[in-house]
Amino acid sequence: MQDIIGIDISKDQLDTYRLSDRQHAVFDNDKTGFKALLKWIGRAGELRLVYEPTGPYHRGMEDALAKAEHALVKVNPRQARRFAEATGTQAKTDRVDAMLLARMGLALDLPSRPVRGEMMNDLRELHVARLALVKERTAASNRASAAQNNVLKRQSKARLAFIERQLSELEEAITGLIAADPNLSARR
């Protein structure tokens, strides 16, 4: 039987729960903690690590575990919350979350997937920032058209110009990353 470890990730620590021996452990969410986690886990093999992404806080752990060739299962936070509700679990602690993630990995037989590389993470981060700026540009444009005061009109115009410069910078960075990757540039 394949062993499963659930990992609840926060900014400062990783709460883990191993199903086979019902062991709980806590590690720092930094390079030292990743080394200790890898030692606690043991060698790669019949093992799946189930976690939900938490902003940028999962990336270091994800990279360390992927380099050690562990099978990683990244679950959607909404799916994890629904699983907790379905099992009737009310307590919301990091330890319980780690246990639920491990049980979810077993009950749903979730498949592991390859981890996105650093370039794809950078591309995604740039894309999310671009989407936010597009929304900000729309809001600023709406405010500019409604402005009656000359000071507000001038500030709105300056704000829109600044947003446009930032958008151009992001688009240039995105285009550069895509051009640098043969697989992505072939899709264009």
Provide the b/e sequence for 27-52 (b: ≥16 CB within 10 Å): bebeeebbebbbeebeeeeebbbbbb
pLDDT at 1: 57
Residue numbers of the chain with a pLDDT score lower than 70: 1, 44-45, 90-91, 115-116, 188
pLDDT at 91: 64
pLDDT at 151: 95
Per-residue pLDDT of 65-86, as tens digits, reads 888 888 899 998 898 888 888 8
Write down the domain spans for the chain: 3-107, 118-187
Position of tokens 């051009």?
179
pLDDT at 188: 65
| CATH number given to 3-107 | 3.30.420.10
Number of Cβ atoms within 10 Å of the Cβ of 140: 19
